[in-house]
Amino acid sequence: MDTIKCMEAFVAVATNESFTGGAKQIDVSTKLASKYVQQLEEKLGAQLFYRTTRSVTLTDTGKAYYERCVPLLDQFDELEGMVQQRQSDLAGPIRITAPTGFGSKELVEAIAAFQLVHPNVSIDLHLADHLVSIVEGGFDLAVRFGKLDDSTLIARKLRDMRIVVVASPDYLRKYGEPKHPSGLTTHNCLLQMTTKEPAHWSFKLKGEIKTYKMQGSFHANSPRAIVQMAVQGVGIGRAPLYAVNSHVEDGSLKILFEAAEASAIGLYAVYPPNRHLTARIRAFIDHLVEYYDF
């Protein structure tokens, strides 16, 4: 019996509350994950899970064992990573969750640059437009925008990203360019619904923050969708700078009220406080800090 493999299977099943989900996380069959857990229970002489046809939950003994297993496995992983780092060869998996818009291009480019230097590190990237639980999802870290609602997580800031208002030259020729932010209220504004107050846009005017309520015919949960509609001349959009940069450079979008920008959103690498970072995860976060320092 390989105790480490059995412990890994146990933690994965407990994290996912499912043998199927746990098996998928560690890339083994459900049958093998079940076998590993059974072997562990037999060795310990204790039941770790309550099993029904619909659910898998930890027993009290299982909860206590889980709380000790996680840091032990992290330390074992760290030990391997330390040896690998001494040999200048990081290796092993990193599971990351990130928003779809940023993750599908900007984050992928940063990951590619890291893996070219460390080809033995495998990345499992999960993209989602809703907030994913790092712990319950079994992720090593998340890359997220905005102030963190969960104060139990540890966040390392990567950079600030400007939030800009943009419109296409065709739209501005057809409907006129607003001369003041308040004039946006008479335009068709494209609203990104993943922000906390999507219809309220703030500007810094004469040293004070002024907020105006917008309305429009198109709502989306993706900044790139907002930007593409703005490029098509449907309305005026508001999005992070990364999503509009290429369109501003080629002239298909124009930034409005640049001098009055009041909003910037932080980009963070986030991880659980009880997660002992392995050498490869620390190296990856350091890479992100350096990569986005522009």
Q: Which pLDDT tens digit goes with each residue over 93-147?
A: 999 999 888 898 899 999 999 999 999 999 999 998 777 888 778 889 999 988 7
Give residues with Cβ within 8 angstroms of 232, minimum separation 6: 168
Query: CATH topology of 3-72 equal to that of 85-157+266-291?
Result: no
Which of the given ranges, 19-33, 198-212, 266-280, has the highest pLDDT on average?
198-212
* Length in residues, the chain: 294
pLDDT tens column, 183-208? 999 999 999 987 778 999 999 998 89
**Domains in the chain: boundaries:** 3-72, 85-157+266-291, 161-264
pLDDT tens column, 41-91? 888 899 999 988 778 899 999 899 998 888 888 887 777 666 655 545 788
How confident is the model over 211-216, as a mean pLDDT? Answer: 94
**pLDDT attached to residue 101:** 84
**pLDDT attached to residue 92:** 87
CATH number among 3.40.190.10, 3.40.640.10, 3.40.50.300, 3.20.20.80, domain 85-157+266-291: 3.40.190.10
Q: What does CATH list as the number for 3-72? A: 1.10.10.10
pTM, two decimals, is 0.64
Q: Max CA-CA distance within the chain?
A: 77
Position 15 pLDDT exceeds 50: yes
**pLDDT attached to residue 74:** 81
How confident is the model over 142-165, as a mean pLDDT? Answer: 85
**pLDDT attached to residue 53:** 76
Proportion of the chain above pLDDT 70, given as a percent: 94
Structure tokens at 193: 């619904």
pLDDT band per the 50, 70, 90 thresholds, residue 175: very high
- The C-alpha atoms of residue 132 and residue 145 are separated, in whole angstroms, by 13
Average pLDDT, the chain: 88
Q: What does CATH list as the number for 161-264? A: 3.40.190.10
Ordered alpha helix ranges (H), the chain:
3-16, 19-25, 30-44, 60-86, 100-102, 108-117, 134-137, 169-175, 223-231, 241-249, 279-291
